Amino acid sequence: MAIRPSDGFTLRTNVTQQRMTTDQPVPTGVGTLGMKLFIASLSFIFAASILLYLLLLAPEESPAIEHLPVIAAGVFVSTALILASSVTLRRGSRAVRADRCDELAVWLKRTLWLGYGFGALQTANWVLVWIAVDPFASGNRHAGFFIVLTIVHALHVVGGVVRLVQITRRAQQGEFSAAHHEPVTNMAMYWHFLDVVWLLLVLAIVGVSI
């Protein structure tokens, strides 16, 4: 059977189209847009809360306010845990983009355990702060703001952990690939945002306590 010149052209065209399809990035879906809008709205909320915290507790505004004793060890270990969890989640995101889907579930599990550790340590921090300065009995606004802001942040972490559990289960079932990983990317975006918020909270807490 003779091969026509047009057949060779068609074959090259198909190969070129396949390469272009492979090289093209995965299009951004509605979920990613929704996550970006959600993060933008949370950014305003957290920024306003931190600003209010700094204004109310600035020395020139309220010089008589007793500063909250800084539970340095607990806060800094919490920071180390949440930073480490961002690293492991980043590794998982890179693995699924490279189509190493078997590694994804491993990194997600490590992220979960670090998230659990962060939550447990935060609970211990609240107990220690409450024992040191009861915000209701003492009227210490520093203690009150510390507890409220970190609880609000922790609630968003809990929401992220719940979603992360769901994504981890889906990863174990092999639902994600280099061509389909938008839920993982969105989860990583949200988690890294919480990481940044926590760092800003720590800077505010330490700055007011100095």
Instruction: Answer whether residue 23 is part of any domain.
Output: no
Q: How far is CA 128 from the centre of its chain?
A: 25
Instruction: Answer whether residue 65 is part of any domain.
Output: no
User: How far apart, in Å, are the Cα atoms of 78 and each of 84, 107, 153, 155, 193?
Assistant: 10, 19, 12, 15, 16
Sorted by sequence, the CB contacts under 8 Å of residue 82 that are 6+ apart come out as 114, 115, 118, 157, 194, 195, 198
Whole-number Å distance between alpha carbons of 75 and 68: 13
Q: Domain of residue 176: give its range.
A: 29-55+72-209
pLDDT score at 26: 45
Q: Is-above-0.75 flag for pTM?
A: yes
- The total number of structural domains in the chain stands at 1
Instruction: Answer whether residue 9 is part of any domain.
Output: no
Question: Side chain identity at 48, as an amino acid letter?
Answer: A
Instruction: Answer whether residue 3 is part of any domain.
Output: no
CATH code at position 109: 1.20.120.80
Cβ atoms 88, 110 nearer than 8 A:
yes
pLDDT score at 138: 66
pLDDT score at 93: 93
Q: Describe the crossing of helices 141-172 and 182-209 by its angle, rounded to 10 degrees.
A: 160
Q: Residue 60 gets which letter from DSSP?
A: T
Instruction: Answer whether residue 12 is part of any domain.
Output: no
How is residue 58 written in tokens?
């600035």
With tokens 């606004």, the residue in question is 141
Instruction: Answer whether residue 64 is part of any domain.
Output: no
Instruction: Answer whether residue 16 is part of any domain.
Output: no
Element (H, E) at 34: helix 30-57
How is residue 44 written in tokens?
């305003």
pLDDT digits (tens, 9 = 90+) for 90-133: 999 999 999 888 899 999 999 999 999 999 999 988 888 887 77
Q: Which residues of the chain have pLDDT under 70?
A: 1-29, 57-72, 135-140, 208-210
Whole-number Å distance between alpha carbons of 210 and 118: 24
pLDDT score at 130: 80
Residue 125's CB: how many other CB atoms inside 10 A? Answer: 20
How is residue 188 written in tokens?
């990583």
